[in-house]
Amino acid sequence: MSFSAGVKKEVSSVYGADRHCHVAELSALLNTCGRIDEDHGAYRIVFRADNLHVSEKMCNLIHSQFGHKCEKDAAHYVVSDAEVARQILWAAGVLDKQSGVLRRRIDPLIVNRPCCKRAFIRGSFLGGGSVSGPEKSYHLELMAIDHGYAQQLVSVLQAFDIEPKQVVRKGTDLVYFKKSEEISDVLKIIGASAALMVFENQRVAKDMENTINRVSNCLAVNADKTVVAAVRQMEDISFIRATKGLGILPPQLREIAEIRLNNPIISLKEIGEMLNPPIGKSGVNHRLRRISSIADSLR
């Protein structure tokens, strides 16, 4: 089972405490995985059954709130009773009671409470969402049926101080997240506690691995720079010794030159500790630069 499917399985068993939360979640499910057929004012609700847990939840919400059991039709679940379907659509804000017009943008009153906002986001994820496993690149997206629904979904998410991005891909509006912290927030909002723990553990492990790699790369680069600098110092000192002899160097420089010649791979700090009296790394570096200048002048 993929991580995304595991999240859906988990949150399919999460229910809001009150009827208004159930209606908000049902509204999102109707708009993301439902189809509404109309025939001269008579309505029929059809929704996909490709995810058993999501389908069962939708049926449970309809049964608990409207006392109606969905019918199974091959690859779909159906509410064929026109009056029940009308009641569901009215309650979910999908059908305008006055005009009888079907609409996709949900009545703001349905998602007015924080608990209903959570339920609405949960329903949107169950009906049209997906999330990559944390071992891969971070990505969570929610499919919207049109731009209006996408805008409403963004507004609801912003109420939790997170900023989703929007894109239209192959004619479909998508609301998505790429930051791991924001994906954690969404998992927390929809009630995916177990998935959140898995995600956070993987995220910490991944961040630690990335940190170790960065440190290792930095150390490797610094080590390369140290080796290059030491080779250059050896060349300068050897050139002076071969042309004029180390005797031309002042005592302090001659001492440090001899230590470097005898210890080609030690660090500047170690060279400084071998001097009498000892000096710091910056002092050693300063003296070696003076030696380099003398070598350049002889060249």
Q: What is the pLDDT of residues 244-276, one digit of tens each?
A: 788 888 888 888 888 887 887 778 888 888 888
Q: Which of 156, 191, 226 is the last residue of a domain?
A: 191
Kindly report the backbone phi and psi dihedral angles of residue 47, in degrees, each rounded to the nearest multiple of 5, phi listed first: -140, 155
Last residue of a domain, one of 191, 216, 233: 191
At 58-78, the pLDDT tens digits run: 888 888 888 888 887 767 778
The H or E element containing residue 172 is: strand 172-177
Do residues 32 and 128 touch, judged by C-beta distance below 8 A? yes
Does residue 199 lie within any of the structural domains? no
Close Cβ partners of 161 (under 8 Å, ≥ 6 residues apart): none
- Please name which of 157, 122, 137, 140 lies closest in space to residue 203, comparing C-alpha atoms: 137
* Domain final residue, candidates 166, 191, 216: 191
pLDDT score of 79 more than 80: yes
The helix/strand/coil state of 47 is strand
62 domain-assigned: yes
Q: Does residue 170 share a domain with residue 41?
A: yes
Structure tokens given for 69: 């059991």
* CA–CA dist 124, 132 (Å, integer): 16
Quick one: 175 and 229 in the same domain? no
- With a CB cutoff of 8 Å and minimum separation 6, the contacts of 207 are none
H or E stretch covering 6: helix 3-11
234 pLDDT more than 90: no
104 found inside a domain: yes
Buried-state track 178-190, b at ≥16 Cβ within 10 A, e below 16: eebebbbbbbbbb
User: What is the chain's mean pLDDT, rounded?
Assistant: 83
pTM of this structure = 0.68
pLDDT value for 219:
52
